[in-house]
Chains A and B, each alone.
Chain A
Amino acid sequence: MQSPRRQHWGKTLESICLPVGALLFSLVLFGIFCAAVGSNPFEVYASIHKAAFGNWRSFQNTLIRAAPLMLTALCTALPARLGLVIIGNEGALVMGGIGAIIVGLGLGGNAPPLVVQIGMALAGLLFGGLWIGAVGALRHYRGVNETISSLLMNYIAIAFLNHLVNGPMKDPSSLNKPSSFPIPAVDMLGVLPGTRIHYGLIYGIVACVIAYVLIQRTTFGFAARTAGGNIRAARIAGLPVGKLTMAICFLAGSCAGLAGMVEVAAVHGRANESLNAGYGYSGILVAFIARYNPLAATVVAVLLGGILASGGILQRVHNLPDATVLVFQGLVFLVVMYSESLYGRLAIFKERHEVKPTRQPAAVV
C-alpha cells in the first residue's frame, strides 16, 4: 500500500498539473488556429503577453478585469460543491448592477459617500442573491433543472436592464448607448493608492477567501460538500438539503451581484449594456478551470483577465476580430473538459506498483 502522504502529494500535483497542462495545450491549439487564419502565432502570443502582463500599466488593466471574474466565478463554483451546475452568472451580475444603480441614484448626493457605497454593495448582494436564490428554490421545490433555468434568467435580467435603461431610468443625453443617469462622482468606488485599480479587486479576493474558508473549514461547508457528494446520504443524516441549496445559491448569486455593483460603481458609473459584456460567461470558465476552488479562482481570474484585456491589441495589431478572445476561451474550456477525464488515469501521478490504467478505447466514429 502507498503511504497516505505520498498519495496526497500525487493528487495535489495532479490537480495543479492537469489544468496548467490543459491551458498550455489550448494555447497550442489556439496558435494553430491563428496560423490557419493567417496570423503568426508567436507574434500573437507575444502581443497577448505584452497586453496582459507586459508592464505595470497593462497588468493594472488585467487586474481591473480580474476583479469581476473572481466574483462571478464564485457564482458557479459555490453551487458546484452542492452538485449544481449554475450558469446564471451574467443575469445575477446584471441584477446586482441594477440594484446598485437604484440605490446609487436614490441616495447619491443625499448621504455620505461611504453610506452610498455600502448601500450599493448591499443592494448588489441582495439583488444578485435573490436572483440565484430563486434558481435554487425552483430546483428544490419544483425540481426545475438549475442549469436551464439560470440560463433563461440571464436573458430575463438583460431584458429587464434594457427596459430600465430605455424607459424609466433613461438619461436623455445618452443617445448611442441608452444608459441610466450617472451616479455622482463622489460616490464612485475609489482606487487603491498609487494605482488605477479600483477596490473591486479587494472585494473579489476577500470574497474568494471567505468562500474558501466557508466551504473547507466550517460545518456549513462540510454539510454542503456532503450533500453534493451524496444527496440521499445527506438526507438520511438529517441535513437540511433545501436550506443548504438556497443558502449556497443566495451566496453564489450575491457574489455575482457584487460584481455588477463593482462594474456600476467603479467602472461605468451608470447602468447600460456594458454590464452584460460577458464577465458572467467568462466567470463560468474561471470556475471550471479552477475546479471550483475559490482560491485557485483568484489566480485563474487574473490569467483570464489578461486574455480579455488583450482583445483590443489583437484587433489593432493583428487585425483579428474581437471574437478571437471568445474562440480562445472556448478552446480552453473544451480542453479543460477533456482533461477532466484524465484524472486518475495518468501513470506519472500514481505509485509505481499500481496497475497501469488500461488505455481508453478510441472513440467510435
Chain B
Amino acid sequence: MAAETVGWWGVPLAIAAGTMRGGTPFLFVSLGECLTEKSGKINLGLEGTLLTGAMSAYAISYLTGSPWLGVLMAGVSGMALGFIHAWLTQQPKVNDVAVGIAMIIFGSGIAFFLGKPFIQPSAPQLPTFDLGGWSSISSLQEALRISPLFLLGVALAPAMTWFFKSTRWGLFIRAVGDSPDAALAMGVSIKKVRMLSIIAGSFLAGIGGASLSLYYPGIWSERISTGQGLMAVALVIFARWQPMQCLYASLLFGGAQAFGPALQSVGITQGYYLFNAAPYILTLGIMILTCSPTRTISGAPGALGSGS
C-alpha cells in the first residue's frame, strides 16, 4: 500500500486529503441550507436532493460523456425537488420539517429508482488539478489531486457572505427570514423570495451530490450518501448561519469522516465501524455544546421554523 512509504504520516495526510474530498459535499449542502434558512424556511430534505444530484450527475456524465453537463444536471434536478419543497411548505398548516422527511424518502426513492441502471457502468469523472506532481510519493500526489468543485465551493462561501451583506437581493432574503412583517412593509413578496431561496439552495445541494458521484468517492451506489445532507443541517446551526463559518465547519466534518479510513490505511482496523460514526457523534456533540434551552442561538434568522 501507498501508506507504507510514508508510514505514520499517512494518517494526517489521509485526513487532510479527506478534508478536501469529503468536505466538498458538506460545503455545497451547507451553503445551500444556509441560503434556504436565511429566508426563514428549513429544508431537511437536502439528503434526498444530494442523492438525486449524485445520481443525475453520474447518469448524465455516463450518457453524454461530459461530467460538467452532469454537474449542471445535478443542480437542475435539485431545483426540481426544491420547487416541490418550496411549494408544499408554503401551504397553510404544513410543517416544513415533516415535508423535509417526506422529501428525503421521495428524493432517495427517485434517485435509487432511476439510478438502478447506472450502478454497474463507470462514468467519466470530473478532471482534477494535480498539484502534487513535484512529489514522488504517490499518496501525497493522491492527496493533492484537487477538484475544481472544491475550489468553486471555497470561492462560493465569501461570495455568499458578500451577497447577504451588500446586495439588494441579499437584504430581501435576510428581511424575509428575520422579520417577514418588515419585508412585507418593504414591498417584498415573501413567497417569491422563499421560493427562490429554497430552489437556489437545492441547486447547490444537487451540485454537492455531483461531487460525491463524479469526484469522491466517484461512484454511484445506493450507499453513496451517508447522511451528509442531514449533517449539513446541523452544521449550519453550528456555523451560526454564516457562509464563511460553513466553510470551516465543512472542512472539519470532512476531516472527521476521513478519520476511520485514515487509521485503516496504516493498519489500525480495530473499531473501524465505530470510527465511521465519528462525524455523527461530532455533530451531536457540537449541537449539545452550542444549543441552549433558555436562549435562541445568536445569528438565527428570526422567523426560522416559526411557520410565519
Contact = CB atoms under 8 A, between A and B. Distances in A.
B is a partner of A: yes
Contacts of A149: 284, 287
A141 B288 CA distance: 9
Interface stretch (B93-101, B131-139, B145-153, B161-169): B93-101
Interface string B256-287: 00000000000000011110110011011001
Nearest to B194: A364
Interface string B85-128: 01110111111011101110111111111001000000000000
Interface string A339-361: 01101010000000000000010
Interface in B180-212: 189, 191-192, 195
Contacts of A162: 273, 276
A144 B288 contact: yes
Interface of B: 44, 83-84, 86-88, 90-95, 97-99, 101-103, 105-113, 116, 189, 191-192, 195, 222, 226-227, 230-231, 233-234, 237, 271-274, 276-277, 280-281, 283-284, 287-288, 291-294
From A37, A340, A343, residue with most partner B Cβ within 10 Å: A340
Contacts of A337: 88, 94-95, 98-99, 102
A19 to B, nearest CB: 14
A140 B291 CA distance: 11
A285 B192 CA distance: 30
A52 to B, nearest CB: 18
From A149, A153, A281, A324, residue with most partner B Cβ within 10 Å: A149
Contacts of A336: 102
Interface residues of A, number: 52
Given A85-B98, A360-B92, A142 B103 contact: no
A152 B293 CA distance: 19
A187 B218 CA distance: 45
Contacts of A115: none
A77 B273 CA distance: 31
Interface stretch (A56-64, A195-203, A327-335): A327-335
Interface in A306-346: 320-324, 326-331, 333-334, 336-338, 340-341, 343, 345
A163 B95 contact: no
Do most interface residues of chain A lie in helix, strand or loop, or is the interface mixed?
helix
A220 interface: no
B116 A321 contact: yes
A326 B107 CA distance: 9
A21 to B, nearest CB: 16
B231 A152 contact: yes
B195 A365 contact: yes
B44 A143 contact: no
Given A334-B88, A340-B93, A148 B105 contact: no
Interface string A146-166: 011101110110011011001
Contacts of A327: 106, 109-110, 113
B143 to A, nearest CB: 25
A29 B284 CA distance: 38
From A160, A320, A336, A337, residue with most partner B Cβ within 10 Å: A337
* Top 7 closest pairs, chain A to chain B, by CB: A330-B106, A326-B109, A323-B112, A159-B277, A333-B102, A341-B91, A143-B293
A142 B230 contact: no
Contacts of B291: 142-145
